[in-house]
Amino acid sequence: MFEVGQNVFLRKITMIFTGRVVANYIDANVRVVELADAAWIADTGRYANAVATGKFAEVEPYPDNVVIKVPLGDLVDGFVIDWPLPRKQI
């Protein structure tokens, strides 16, 4: 499970999210992570380059004051990132 305060990249079956973990818990037998400063990554571009650098072809950030809940039941993979969270729409 990711720790509160970590910046993460989460690849789910159909979507990719980035954000800062503000909570994690189990709800109805499914792990959930809550993310602030979150973005939906609509297009990574070249995947290996994107995950190494945090530079994506298309980014759709959530507003600054929004915390999203991401159920991890269909998580393909996820990791802690060391590059800045993408916060500008591209």
> Per-residue confidence of the chain (90 residues) as pLDDT tens digits?
799 999 999 999 999 999 999 999 999 999 999 999 999 999 999 999 999 999 999 999 999 999 999 999 999 999 999 999 999 999
Return the CATH fold of 7-80.
SH3 type barrels. (2.30.30)
User: How confident is the model at residue 1, as a pLDDT?
Assistant: 79
Q: Which residue has the tokens 């992570």?
A: 33
* Domain range list for the chain: 7-80
Query: What's the pTM?
Result: 0.94
